[in-house]
Amino acid sequence: MALWPRDWRMLPSGETLGDVAPQFLGHSANVLVRVESVRTMSHTANTFGGYAGRIFLQMRKEIRRRRLEVGEAGWGIPQPQPARLRGISATKHYRVAVIGAGSQGMSQCQGLLAVKGIQVVGLSDINVERLNQVGDSMNLASNTRFSDANEMLRKAAPLDMVSIATTAPHHVALGRLALTSGVKRILLEKPIDVSLREARAFREECIRANTLLAVNYSRRWTLDYRAINRCISRGFIGEPRSIFVTVGKGELGMHASHYFDLCHYLFNSNPAWVVSNLEPVRERNPRGATFEDPSGFCLFTFENGARAYIDFSSDLGPKDPFVAIKGTHGRITVDEQRMFWTLQSRSQRLWSIPFAEPLKSSTLFSRVAADLLSRPPVTATEESGLVALEMVIGSHLAQRRSGHQVTFPITNEDSEIGVTFP
């Protein structure tokens, strides 16, 4: 059942979905028109016609004109507002640099340039041809393009934020360059690194330097997963006890780690142990022959007793992610490919809710950057990035131990598994 006005109902707690899914209904009382009012206007227009009909059409036009936080009042059609700087940050201009001009670096530049007040003043990559291709497509000036990250950090200074969009083995090393150059906001692509020891050390270095460190697990910034998290936190499905994820054919570090972090986010609990079944790597990784990133499946138990099963096996075919969250009194399902999610509450009534916006890298990165530069509580901190890396390394260790449980936290000594993933 789609969430249209005629189907509107109050949820068991007395709240409406608009309270937790603002892509449909906002919070401003002088603008928000409840469905019963819309229903009354429609009945009046149909009954009396003429003047009443014209009044109804004018009111409907006004309702549709006034956009709320991220949606149009009462009409159930998502109209998300673009990412924007907030508070005092909205009055400032920020200088941002990106290290890495691959597909993710290009998406990050697109996302940054879409936010008013953010200027991309530096892009670096050791591959000059690729650097210029991205620079040309983004209309970046030639003096903002660098083949050496150190040179960029010197010449583009002062920088308000540096984003590192390379493969994982270089994340911490390049993050340290940014840290020593005095940058106070550093964003690392996921996973945070391949070495848990180095990632933990870098976190401590950032804390001592009073530098904000975040990891780009972008589902934490999506409007829909945030709305889902609010539904869970307000008890609409009771206590979440199980999450089931089928990704399609994927890789442990590159794809499954997104859902490891998502489970950590939705359960609001750290992992306790993992068992895994990872497949032998038989194909050359498209990101380089040195990378080992297997397919397979993993089962996690969390400290609060909840469970998560993530299947990214090679026999699942093309990626078609589906997430099912089962609580003690209801459930939520998410179909990422078809862009909708459902909520079945305590009353057993089922709502079907279209995505507010697609899971597009550049769009999500706009929200990531605006979040970090506006300096509210950050959605994906270095701590959550470390937990996700532990879950990846724990999955490798469980496979090596013939399916035996690996408990968390993992020691620095056990974490050195000698595997390089992208």
Question: Which CATH number covers residue 116?
Answer: 3.40.50.720
Within this chain, do residues 201 and 297 fall inside the same structural domain, yes or no?
no
CA dihedral sign, ordered 388, 393, 396, 401: negative
| Burial (Cβ within 10 Å: 0-12, 13-18, ≥19) of residue 173 | middle
Tokens at residue 410, please?
């993992």
What's the Cα-to-Cα distance from 179 to each of 160, 174, 293, rounded to whole Å? Answer: 12, 9, 29
* Residue 161 φ/ψ, nearest 5 degrees: -155, 145
The CATH number of residue 353's host domain is: 3.30.360.10
Please indicate, yes or no, whether residues 295 and 347 belong to a single structural domain of this protein.
Answer: yes
Residue with tokens 């380089």: 288
- Is residue 201 domain-shared with residue 265, that is, in the same domain? no
Structural domain includes residue 348: yes
pLDDT for 1: 36
The predicted structure's pLDDT at residue 265: 97
For residues 85 and 106, give the distance between their C-alpha atoms in angstroms, rounded to a whole number: 21
> Is the preceding omega at residue 80 within 30 degrees of 0, hence cis?
no
Which strand (E) or helix (H) includes residue 394? helix 382-400
Strands 296-302 and 271-278: antiparallel
In a shared domain, residues 298 and 339: yes
Is residue 202, in this structure, part of any structural domain at all?
Answer: yes
212: β partners: 185
Looking at the structure, tell me whether residues 173 and 252 fall in a common domain. Answer: no
Query: Rounded to whole angstroms, how far apart are CA atoms 129 and 235?
Result: 52
Residue 76 covered by a domain: no
Count Cα neighbours of 98 within 13 Å in the Cβ-side half-sphere: 29
- Same domain? For 188 and 333 the reply is no
Return the bridge partners of 327, or none: 240
pLDDT at residue 64, as a whole number: 52
Q: Angle between the 196-208 and 382-400 helix axes, to the nearest 10 degrees?
A: 170
Please, are residues 399 and 278 in contact by the beta-carbon 8 Å criterion? yes
DSSP designation for 151: H
User: What is the 8-class DSSP label of residue 82?
Assistant: P
Please check whether residues 46 and 167 belong to one and the same domain. Answer: no
**Angle, helices 196-208/171-180, rounded to nearest 10 degrees:** 20
pLDDT computed for residue 49 by the predictor: 57
297 occurs within a structural domain = yes
Other C-beta atoms within 10 Å of 367: how many?
23
- Looking at the domain assignment, is residue 71 inside a domain? no
| pLDDT per residue as tens, the chain (422 positions) | 333 333 333 444 444 455 455 444 333 222 223 333 444 444 544 554 566 667 767 766 665 554 433 333 334 455 678 899 988 898 999 999 999 999 999 999 999 999 999 999 999 999 999 999 999 999 999 999 999 999 999 999 999 999 999 999 999 999 999 999 999 999 999 999 999 999 999 999 999 999 999 999 999 999 899 989 988 998 989 999 999 999 999 999 999 999 999 999 999 999 999 999 999 988 888 888 888 999 999 999 999 999 999 999 999 999 999 999 999 999 999 999 999 999 998 777 788 888 888 899 999 999 999 999 997 667 778 899 999 999 999 999 999 998 799 999 999 888 888 888 88
pLDDT at position 46 is 53
Are 268 and 389 in the same domain?
yes
Q: What is the model's pLDDT at position 63?
A: 56
pTM for the full predicted model: 0.83
Task: Say if residue 268 is in the same domain as residue 391.
Answer: yes
Q: Which amino acid appears at position 350 of this protein?
A: L
Query: CA 409 to CA 210: how far, in whole Å?
Result: 25
Instruction: Enumerate the H helices of 103-148 as residue ranges.
Output: 103-113, 128-137
Containing domain of residue 141, as a range? 87-219
Q: Is 421 part of a structural domain of the chain?
A: no
Looking at the fold, whether 14 and 118 belong to one and the same domain comes out as no
Domain count, the chain: 3
